[in-house]
Structure 1
Amino acid sequence: MTLDWEFTANRFCARRRGSGRMPGMTRPSTLPDCCPALTAHWPLPHGLADVVLVSSRFDPQKLIDGDFQRCLIEPPASIQRSVAKRQTEFLAGRLCAREAMRQLDGRSHVPLIGEDRAPVWPEDVTGSITHSTGWAAAIVARKADWRGLGLDVEQLMSNERAVRLAGEILTPAEMQRLNAGPEHQAATLVTLTFSLKESLFKALYPIVLKRFYFEDAELLEWSDDGNARLRLKIDLSAEWHNGKELDAQFSVQDGQLLSLVAIRG
């Protein structure tokens, strides 16, 4: 499971306009072989105005000493001590974030890790970083346009893993719908529910500054065209209260599921 937001899945389980741009590739001399190209594109079904999304493939086996320095990205101590996979996904995510910021407003900004383990964006910007096996992405927008953005990518679970984790991720109502549905959809539904709740947390936490967990939100509906709807089951603020519903979207490509929750400004 992903570590974007610097939150592990276990910690979350335990308690817790398109821009119109055509896909564009860039490879300045500062990009390392482990993350050779950045792509500005929109891999989700519904474009959002004034939002920039940049992604990259990455290969931990091609990470070499000095890549962070050549990219002008300072890794925190926890990343310096980590294995090559963790270092490379962090580097790729921050490279995507810096390029997304550059495309948004020309600033060169690499989000640090805050005390709450979340990326630190400029005060007038909202954003999100995500990564999974060999792929990282960042999404940014001005807060005047979008108050919150939560982006999450997950490898599609196997049926065995989905069954094992369903009880930690799904509410009783979600579990009932899972059991009543076709067996071949179980892995996709559990992965989707997990990812959407991760995206919801990443979009809402910077607004409410309160932690909430898998049991505190529910997937109401989803469709094959990439639409989904969530409902809160907890009072986080006067605005974000029990029963509040939010739209979301998702896509599935190459064995990975990408989800987004976007809250307008």
Structure 2
Amino acid sequence: MTSNHPACCSAIEPAWPFNDALPGIVMRSCQFDPSRLTPNDFALTAIAAPSSIQRSVAKRQTEFLAGRLCAREALQTLTGIPNVPGLHEDRAPIWPEGICGSISHSHGLASALVASHTHWRGLGLDLETLLPASRAQRLAKEILTPAELNRLGSLDPSQYAERITLTFSIKESLFKALYPLVGQRFYFQDAELLNVDSNGRARLRLLLDLSREWHAGRELGGNFCYFQERLLSLVAIPA
């Protein structure tokens, strides 16, 4: 760990936990601890904190810092330039021209991935801890469509909670991948998880028109896996 690396974040590590190889995507990850954040850490790392982050609690500041450190390392590996993505008014990262990427964090773990538009048009990454069974039951109707709910009938409580967590996560990844392309917000009931397989692949379908290209009925693939005891999902849209 270099002298300008903050104590609140572990060393940045390469990562690719998915079963499928997706050429051209660079992923980096680190752990973070908000209790070790110091007021000087943003200056130490030469990462600017937007005013909204400066006003936030230590947890939000640390996860932002950790995510940007991962993104900067990934961008340097991909392009040779250690850019730090800015923060748009809608809170989405601002990536360098010709690059797409995504950042996620969950309970002390941050990850970021980037790729050139030559290979990928959009990337969405999401990290989640598994929902407890009781909370999954409460959230099910918010996250799942009626068709998705019908397909859960034979699952035991732990499988049920896992599927709801996965559905939540991969719909978050879908939004992150598509929103920069369509510029339109959409919600959990606007997409459907059609199926998943034992190799960590998923299939999703849009249920509304976002653009002429991204219309109701359009299907997309996704990937998921367990990574450092968290559920990690990815939607990657090829060029």
Distance 1:211 1:186 in 2: 27
Matched, 1:43 2:17: yes
Distance 1:103 1:147 in 2: 19
Taking the TM superposition and a 5 Å limit, the aligned residue runs for 1:85-234 are 85-234=59-208
Task: Find runs of 4+ consecutive structure 1 residues off by over 3 angstroms.
Answer: none
Give 2:4's aligned residue.
30
In structure 1, runs of 5+ residues without a counterpart are 1-26
Q: Secondary structure at the match of 1:179?
A: coil
TM-score, normalization by structure 1: 0.88
Distance 1:185 1:254 in 2: 19
Deviation of residue 78 (structure 1)?
Answer: 1.2
In the TM superposition, what whole-angstrom CA distance separates every residue of 1:223-251 from its partner, at most 9, and x where no partner exists? Answer: 23211110000111111111111110000
**Aligned amino acid, residue 48 of structure 2:** E
Distance 1:65 1:115 in 2: 24
**Aligned amino acid, residue 205 of structure 1:** Y
Distance 1:178 1:35 in 2: 39
Q: Which residue among 255, 262, 265 is the counterpart of 2:229?
A: 255
Distance 1:180 1:229 in 2: 20
Aligned residues: 239
Q: Secondary structure at the match of 1:90?
A: helix
Deviation of residue 254 (structure 1)?
Answer: 4.0
Deviation of residue 181 (structure 1)?
Answer: 2.8
Please tell me the root mean square deviation across aligned C-alpha atoms, in Å: 1.0
TM-score, normalization by structure 2: 0.97
Q: Using the aligned pairs only, state the percent identity.
A: 57
